Structure 1
Amino acid sequence: MHIPAAQTRRIDEGDDAVDLGQSPGDIIVLSAADTELAGFAQAAHRLDGVATLRLASLMALSHPYSVDLYAEKTLAGAKLILIRLLGGKGYWDYGLERVVALARGQGIALAVVPGDDKWDASLAAHSTVAPDDAERLWRYCVEGDADNLANALCFAAYLIGKTDAPPPPRPLPKAGLWWPDIGRPALDDLKGAWVDPARPTAAIVFYRSLVQGAATAPVASLIEALGEAGVNALPVFVSSLKDPSSAAILSGLFETQPPDVVLNATAFALSKAGAVHQPTVLDAPGRPVLQVVFSSASEEGWAESDRGLGIRDLAMHVVLPELDGRILSRAISFKEAGDQDPLTQSRPVRFVPKSDRVRFVAELARNWTRLGRVAASERKVALVLANYPNKDGRIANGVGLDTPASAAGILRAMADAGYALESIPENSSALMDVLLTGQTNAIGTAAKGSSGPESASGARNETVSLTLQDYAELFSRLPRAVRAGVSERWGAPEDDPFVRDGAFHLAIHRFGNAVVGIQPARGYNIDPKETYHAPDLVPPHNYFAFYMWLRDAFGIHAVIHVGKHGNLEWLPGKALALSEDCYPEAVLGPVPNIYPFIVNDPGEGRRPSAAPPP
């Protein structure tokens, strides 16, 4: 009978027998926790040749024949076996019985300990090592981090007479600061690593289990990217946001070093559906909380997915966190099986950061801090009004929302708050008069003095423009796939019908440091009703020119999309966890985006490729 070589699999895919293909080792560690096995793999070099090590996932040993084969080929030659079993004896009933019989029959040291932080004497009774020794091995694993995992291996080697006893387990706090290559840092250690303490600060909140399993590569990558973006990182690990001691430590750190933005990589929510919302510990600084996803999927699976996130990540990192009012950002790391590790003859699974996604989140965080730090009188904001279908009579439409009145009210509120605005419309009618006397999405709505046809309201007043030269330079910065898609569908930018006299003429009106624009159509010479929601229609050049002017020429600090509903969120790309080739990201970039929406129809405004939660 041919048994296939082992592949990375889930516990629910364990119906097939597999051969792990490992030769015997002095010490063998079996665990269902990928992060723990990866941590042991990183610590293997600390054995310094005094003992050989093999690592295996219990998820790969769910089939009885896999257990028998592994026991015969690998376990039988071991001197010590450590099993970390989550869920008690029943989780791996046949496997445990087989290993216990083998250890007792052949005199192999065996430590069977819980896979969580609750000691189970009945489970440990299956061990052949002394109870105190089994509990010490368990404590090394429970406390975790690189030093404790290395000392666990050294203690195992000590039990089989290979080396001296290592130091006892060093407790890892429920919550605390973390920094690469600094063991148990204090706040002063972090400040010493910052380029400039006066820079804005971004707190990174992540699970303690990543420190326990030495799986902090995504956090380290985010720290580096934030530094390159001009933001100081304040990384804080917690056992859970619901743990009182973790929440107290986090709250104390936020009081001592208030962050300008919070990047949260923990899952689930503190709030309950249907209950009156109460601020959480993450909200205490009064700053935006961005949800960062350490995905449980592989990068390949994410790249091939139109949805972007699997059901589990969707629930844990999108649906539930919205109850706390967190703003979804991006998935910045993925779970990957590494290359074969010759020291452990295993393929440790690790969280692997994706550099361009990490960089995007860092830039988004920087821009939120910039929005919060700049004085109101210096902030520049764009209000973008929907236009569906793309007719002048449908500008600023919104079922259940008086969009023109809302926009005019927002402008008045901004002026009252100290924004430097000029000549703002007094009411919705005045705003619509301004919009209809300038460029709109109707092809041929030429500016006053041009040779183009006039609209029913007469000659059009000039709005803003972006030269073809400036557009070409900005267009060249877009990802290659995006540039190719736009050029293939719409041709050269100078052929765009909204180009006149060497420039794009855009439906944008300036009122000092605020602008009001009419969102461009998805295309031209097409049926707007049929194509408005088309998931494969790439936007034309003038669509990009509109947002390029806002971002790069005018320099907005934030954009507010007003109305039901815009079309940015319907552009080609993933529904969640966007890539750089997704058109909503290519268009909007890392700009803080506010999307007010009528509360009784969230489905119309919640395709979140472009929009954060309302």
Structure 2
Amino acid sequence: YPESVGIILWATSNLRNHGQCVAEFLYLMGLRPVWQPGSQRVVDLEVIPLEELQRPRVDVTGRISGLFRDSMPGSVIWLDDAAQRIASLDEPTELNFVRKHVLEEAGELEKSGLDKQAAWRQASYRVFGDPPGAHGAGTGAVLEAKNWETIDDIAAVYTRWGAHAYGKGSEGTYMPEVFKKRMAQIDITVQNVDHRESSMLSGDDYNNYRGGMIAAVRSYKGSMPRNYVSDSSDRSKVQLRSLTEELKRWFRGEAMNPKYIAGMKKHGYKGAGDLATYVAVSYQWDATSDIMENWMYEKYAAKYALDKDMQKWMQEVNPWALHRITEVLLEAEQRGMWQAKPETKQALQELFLSMEGELEERGE
């Protein structure tokens, strides 16, 4: 069993699906909610006995969004209470990973000078998010600005945005060292998806939060965690896929699907811009999570940038989209994330230079 799991908690999805991520957080730790008869409000948490659970209690760290913090404060309290309850149980540490980690870290903090109560409280924070009043994760902005060199740079930005502890006694206190400790313990990251209206490639929010967490684990732990996506868009058939499987599913099903591309073309300027977003977001996922393969970049180059019909259409409706696609692909090659074929690289460089001149003329 994994000792530690990192989970992304968004407000919109949990409001829509009645708290699937909250339920998963609780169940991994070995808790279930207690509902008030009639109103069905959650009024308490009940510890599931180990004899019934039949597995160890898994340590869970939740990275909440700013909207989750603002619209579901009650859930934040329940999640924090869950971690404290489980850590306080008198159980063997090999069957209670929450207690195991809290005991270890609290001991270290006491040695550094904290009193016992403060050390225990600091070691038991498991809910982290944005600074009070802020929204976002920082990852997308730093990647879009090209203002990074290594995975450690991305992790540092993710920490600055997300290392604010929430729960009893802390309404967003910045605790970077505590957050780094949590990220360094994570064996598995997971994000639940409950609809098909957007995907991990259609916008950068997924990579902003989830990819940022993976980058932080890679940086602070020194190894890649296992990464999964839980798809409950069809609640009668919930499916679990690896992040790589999920990427290839959307890459083949939408990004490279001729019918999908034809549909995007009907939207002119906006359609071209959205196709450019697919390329940019794929690159960003690769930067945080190392999941793109050479053939995928080659497909983007051939289908989106070097195809003559696509070039003609984009130059007519949105040449800036074609410029962005070419620029992102060349950046991926320059950073060593893609070993491009020599002829592909040369064709992209020639296209980029020609687009630079064309856009400059249009600007004038």
- Same fold at TM > 0.5: no
The higher radius of gyration belongs to 1
Q: TM-score, normalised by structure 1?
A: 0.20
Query: Is the helix fraction higher in 1 or 2?
Result: 2
Asked which structure has the greater RCO (Cα within 8 Å, sep 6+), the reply is 2
Q: TM-score, normalised by structure 2?
A: 0.30
